[in-house]
Amino acid sequence: MSAEKFDAVDIIGIKRDRGTLTPDQIDWTIDAYTRGAIADEQMAALNMAILLNGMSREEISRWTLAMINSGERMDFSGLGKPTSDKHSTGGVGDKITLPLAPLVAVFGVAVPQLSGRGLGHTGGTLDKLEAIPGWQAALTNDALMAQLRDVGAVICAAGAGLAPADKKLYSLRDVTGTVEAIPLIASSIMSKKIAEGTGSLVLDVKVGSGAFMKDEARARELAETMVALGKDAGVNTVALLTDMSTPLGLTAGNAIEVQESVDVLAGGGPEDVVELTLALAREMLTAAGQPDADPEAALKDGRAMDVWRRMISAQGGDPDAALPVARESETIYAPADGVLVELDALSVGVAAWRLGAGRARKEDAVQAGAGVVMHAKPGATVRAGEPLMTLLTDTPEKFDRAREALADAVVVAPEGSRPARKLIIDRIS
Ligand code: URA
């Protein structure tokens, strides 16, 4: 006879029949699955029932809490300064964490940015930073704390101790067509962020072809769900809905995105990257009690660059070392005279991935120098035959598949049809 408190088949039946799980049932489900007392096929059926029938706000909150309680919870209260973090749902060319973390730290707000590696067409922050010679992603909790105290900003790998239930559940969702359930995405992201122990959190929820959420209504629902979860857990949380129909900046890859981030820290860089970095910095600083801070000045006068250099050095990186360069390149040219009205984010992301900047399986290595450099963005006037993009890789046999990904990525229209891009679509608090 089983000593288990509930029966997995009954739990599945409740969600299949559009019922509501009690807090006790949710706690048991997450704990039993983590222990192996609920089989993968049972959890897969439950996930599908949740995807189809949804969950109440109370259920999502409890599900998140149960995932947090499956592992350790970090505590930064001993630091003596406020903490703030940012999470992006992922996009093409999204290197914002790199300039943002040191920028916010300039103002005495500690930024514990626990990040992941990329899978699929969106790049991972750690993959980008690992292009810097010597830089190490793994830190012990003690080293993380010391760096937050001394430098103020850390970007490092999230340890295995944070929300282990999510790790197991996410792998299962990945192979059972249940990643897309909003209650499961929201609880997955927020369980890790709340367990990380940040005092405030700014979410960058991407909308568009290169994003996880292709349409605005679903992105909004995800953002609202996550903001509510953060607040329920006592974390001051706001979200920006931002455009991901075209890549951020002029680079999608690893070393080339580091270089673009350094350009922003030097007071230059592409307009959209600067705009989003500043908008997110202002949100983080306001959420951490510093509404009057001037992040624009800190980018211009080198203070953010100083913190960047110390942050990279503290993790073994050489901020002055030359970044890796791909061995081979090919150019894509503008097909006609006119205005570039579309440069599709997903296509560029897939091309960068196929060139070697991303991985198809968790265990794959990435090429530091691979990726796509864009020479024009939507709104620019172009002339037929002018370079539009440079493809970079160490393995030239990859060019053909990357070109295929870009076959429909570009639309050039006659003069006069200039598109208007609204980078920051909305703010949800
Ligand atoms: N990122 C996560 O961490 N979890 C999800 O479920 C989706 C994206």
195 near 68, Cβ under 8 Å? yes
- Model pLDDT for residues 17-53, shown as the tens digit of each residue: 999 999 999 999 999 999 999 999 999 999 999 999 9
Dihedral, CA atoms, 262, 267, 272, 273, nearest 10 degrees?
30
Q: Which atom of ligand 1 lies nearest, measured to the CA of 116?
A: 3
Q: Give the integer Cα–Cα distance in Å for 56 and 241.
A: 23
Percent of the chain, pLDDT > 70?
99
235 closest CA partner among 70, 61, 409: 61
DSSP annotation of 110: B
pLDDT band at residue 148 under the 50/70/90 scheme: very high
Ligand 1 contact via 189 beta carbon (within 6 Å): yes
Ligand 1 contact via 185 beta carbon (within 6 Å): yes
Report the chain's terminal Cα–Cα distance, integer Å.
Answer: 49
12: number of Cβ within 10 Å: 21
On the question of pLDDT at 119 being above 70, the answer is no
- Bridge partners of 241, per DSSP, are 205, 426
240: number of Cβ within 10 Å: 23
> Which tokens hold the place of 333?
């040219």
CA-proximal residue: ligand 1, atom 2 (nearest): 189
Mean pLDDT of 142-171: 93
Give start and end residues of each alpha helix (H) in 233-270: 255-265
100 closest CA partner among 153, 175, 166: 153
Helices (H), strands (E): how many in the chain?
16, 13
On the question of pLDDT at 13 being above 60, the answer is yes
On the question of pLDDT at 157 being above 80, the answer is yes
The pLDDT score that the predictor gives to residue 3 is: 86
Please give the distance, rounded to the nearest whole angstrom, from the Cα atom of residue 189 to the centre of ligand 1: 5
Please give the distance, rounded to the nearest whole angstrom, from the Cα atom of residue 166 to the centre of ligand 1: 9
Mean pLDDT of 361-390: 94
The pLDDT score that the predictor gives to residue 321 is: 97
Strand order in the sheet with 387-393: 251-253, 371-374, 387-393, 328-333
pLDDT band at residue 122 under the 50/70/90 scheme: confident
* Distance from chain centroid for Cα 359: 16
Instruction: Select from 63, 174, 188 the residue to mutate for testing ligand 1; criterion: most ligand atoms less than 8 Å from CB.
Output: 188
pLDDT band at residue 159 under the 50/70/90 scheme: confident
The pLDDT score that the predictor gives to residue 158 is: 87
Q: Give the integer Cα–Cα distance in Å for 167 and 34.
A: 10
In the numeric block, the tokens 């980008």 are attached to 128
Q: Give the integer Cα–Cα distance in Å for 116 and 2.
A: 38
pLDDT mean across residues, the chain: 95
Where b means 16+ CB within 10 Å and e means fewer, 133-169 reads eebebebeeeebbebbeebbbbbbbbbeebbebbbbb
Q: Residue 192 catalytic?
A: yes
The pLDDT score that the predictor gives to residue 421 is: 80
- Model pLDDT for residues 406-415, shown as the tens digit of each residue: 999 999 998 8
Domains and CATH numbers, the chain: 8-69 (1.20.970.10), 84-159+167-315 (3.40.1030.10), 328-413 (3.90.1170.30)
Specify the pTM: 0.95
Mean pLDDT of 223-240: 97
On the question of pLDDT at 378 being above 90, the answer is yes
CA-proximal residue: ligand 1, atom 7 (nearest): 185
Q: Which atom of ligand 1 lies nearest, measured to the CA of 188?
A: 4
Mean pLDDT of 77-84: 95
CA atoms within 13 A on the CB side of 169: 35
Please give the distance, rounded to the nearest whole angstrom, from the Cα atom of residue 396 to the centre of ligand 1: 33
Please give the distance, rounded to the nearest whole angstrom, from the Cα atom of residue 188 to the centre of ligand 1: 5
On the question of pLDDT at 1 being above 50, the answer is no
- Model pLDDT for residues 276-328, shown as the tens digit of each residue: 999 999 999 999 999 999 999 999 999 999 999 999 999 999 999 999 999 99
Catalytic residue among 168, 173, 220, 398: 173
Q: Give the integer Cα–Cα distance in Å for 362 and 102.
A: 28
Dihedral, CA atoms, 89, 91, 97, 100, nearest 10 degrees?
-100
The pLDDT score that the predictor gives to residue 415 is: 83
Mean pLDDT of 379-388: 96
Mean pLDDT of 195-217: 95
246 near 93, Cβ under 8 Å? no
The pLDDT score that the predictor gives to residue 41 is: 97
Percent of the chain, pLDDT > 90?
90
> Which tokens hold the place of 140?
């012990």
Give start and end residues of each alpha helix (H) in 181-270: 182-195, 216-232, 255-265
Catalytic residue among 166, 232, 243, 263: 166
286: number of Cβ within 10 Å: 17
Distances, alpha carbon 268 to alpha carbons 99, 260, 294, 421, in Å = 12, 9, 17, 21
Please give the distance, rounded to the nearest whole angstrom, from the Cα atom of residue 403 to the centre of ligand 1: 29
Q: Which atom of ligand 1 lies nearest, measured to the CA of 173?
A: 6
Catalytic residue among 192, 303, 359, 398: 192
Pick from 149-163, 233-247, 352-366: least confident: 352-366
Ligand 1 contact via 170 beta carbon (within 6 Å): yes
User: DSSP string spanning 71-84?
Assistant: S-----GGGSS-BE
Q: Which atom of ligand 1 lies nearest, measured to the CA of 184?
A: 6
Instruction: Select from 168, 170, 212, 226 the residue to mutate for testing ligand 1; criterion: most ligand atoms less than 8 Å from CB.
Output: 170
223 near 241, Cβ under 8 Å? yes
- Model pLDDT for residues 254-272, shown as the tens digit of each residue: 999 999 999 999 999 999 9
